[in-house]
């Protein structure tokens, strides 16, 4: 991992080449930062938890201070790698004790989807803020219960929507808001890859809550909403399953789904675990267009519009996300696109509607 100094120097060098980029002053602000620091414990020490932890090495507003895991060997490894004290280490049986730990402000949950509901409610009951990976829950009912529990405990619930802070994405949204694309007519979101190990939790309905839709399809759902700038009023959807052995009952392989928006725009999206090279957003308006490809991967994101290529430099998404979430939790900042539980609940309601449309073969009206 590069040192923070190297990291900041690289950003500063990029800023010299592209002085108009939104992140031009970020390195300097970070270098001079002397404000409050968000103290984070990560729950779930798997692949994504590691990615977040490594990215936080370059944060100044957020610091990894604790871990929660069911695997003692992982805890020992993380203690060594990230200098985490023994008193900030917990397992899934005893992590309610964080209530008495004043050195932890927030718990970032990166466990499988089906575990989020109970874990978020327990963390909230312990009086800690929560960051939960997406999808926040496996259905809207569970999501609402999580929101209610956090409100009752007077803690904040944020969701790991890292793309809501990605500069090329935000530039397209700025252009749309300023009318540069004219009336928005169409959005296309393609999200998918060919999944490997058939025994992994992502293909276990109890843990995942579904299949590709709960893992990769949510990017197209969420992206359709923030790219078009409206909430869908109807949904249609169709499922294709070519391997019922690997993709068992309740675990979707491929779903095509469509949204209609109140302004007249339509969206056509694809979520799949059986096709590679699918990571693209396309937005079309009467005056112009925008394209991101790749659109939601870990980066660098590549984008262009009818006015040319988007040239904002790449910064690790999770680093930016945690800096910005620290600002939300510590300073009351409001992001351009919400990352709270209510935002996540809108996606969960659409996931419910997509599964309903697949099952019934009917258009699902969302206006009521």
Tell me the catalytic residues.
134, 219
Contact 45, 78 (CB under 8 A): yes
Phi-psi sector, 250: left (phi>0), alpha (psi -120 to 50), beta: left
Residues 93, 206, 191, 363: is their CA dihedral positive or negative?
negative
User: Cα–Cα distance between 280 and 314 in angstroms, integer?
Assistant: 17
User: Cα–Cα distance between 270 and 114 in angstroms, integer?
Assistant: 23
By C-alpha distance, which of 94, 67, 60 is closest to 83? 67
Q: Is the peptide bond between 300 and the residue preceding it cis, with omega within 30 degrees of 0?
A: yes
Supply angle C-alpha 56, 59, 60, rounded to 5: 140
User: Which of helix, strand or coil describes residue 115?
Assistant: helix
Contact 312, 168 (CB under 8 A): yes
User: Which of helix, strand or coil describes residue 192?
Assistant: strand
Residues 6+ apart with CB under 8 A from 108: 40, 41, 42, 43, 49, 52, 131, 132, 133, 160
Pseudo-torsion of CA 193, 197, 198, 201, nearest 10°?
Answer: -90
CA 32 to chain centre: 28
Contact 181, 289 (CB under 8 A): yes
Pseudo-torsion of CA 65, 68, 72, 77, nearest 10°?
Answer: -30
């Amino acid at each position: 991992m590069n040192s923070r100094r190297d990291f900041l120097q690289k950003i500063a060098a990029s800023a010299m080449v592209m002085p108009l980029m939104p992140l031009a002053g970020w390195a300097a602000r970070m270098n001079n930062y002397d404000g409050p620091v968000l103290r984070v414990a990560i729950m779930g020490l798997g692949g994504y938890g590691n990615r977040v932890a490594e990215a936080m090495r370059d944060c100044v507003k957020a610091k990894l201070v604790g871990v929660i895991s069911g695997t003692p060997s992982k805890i020992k490894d993380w203690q060594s790698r990230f200098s985490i004290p023994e008193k900030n280490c917990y397992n899934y049986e005893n992590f309610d004790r964080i209530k008495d730990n004043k050195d932890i402000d927030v718990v970032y949950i990166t466990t499988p989807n089906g575990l989020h509901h109970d874990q978020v409610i327990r963390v909230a009951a312990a009086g800690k803020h929560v960051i939960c990976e997406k999808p926040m829950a496996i259905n809207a009912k569970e999501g609402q219960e999580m929101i209610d529990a956090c409100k009752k405990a007077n803690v904040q619930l944020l969701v790991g929507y890292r793309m809501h802070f990605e500069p090329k994405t935000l530039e397209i949204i700025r252009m749309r808001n300023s009318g540069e694309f004219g009336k928005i007519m169409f959005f296309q979101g393609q999200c998918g890859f060919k999944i490997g190990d058939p025994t992994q939790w992502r293909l276990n309905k109890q843990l995942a809550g579904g299949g590709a839709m709960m893992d990769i399809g949510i990017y197209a759902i969420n992206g359709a909403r923030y790219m078009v700038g409206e909430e869908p009023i109807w949904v249609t959807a169709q499922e294709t399953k070519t391997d019922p052995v690997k993709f068992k009952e309740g675990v979707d392989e491929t779903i095509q789904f469509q949204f209609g928006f109140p302004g007249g725009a339509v969206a056509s999206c694809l979520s799949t675990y059986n096709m590679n090279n699918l990571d693209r957003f396309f937005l079309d308006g009467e005056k112009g267009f925008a394209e991101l490809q790749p659109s939601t991967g870990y980066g660098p994101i590549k984008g262009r519009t009818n006015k040319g290529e988007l040239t904002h430099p790449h910064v690790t998404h999770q680093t930016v996300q945690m800096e910005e979430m620290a600002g939300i939790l510590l300073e009351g900042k409001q992001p351009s696109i919400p990352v709270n539980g209510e935002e996540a609940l809108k996606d969960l309601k659409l996931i419910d509607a997509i599964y309903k449309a697949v099952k019934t073969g009917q258009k699902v009206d969302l206006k009521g």
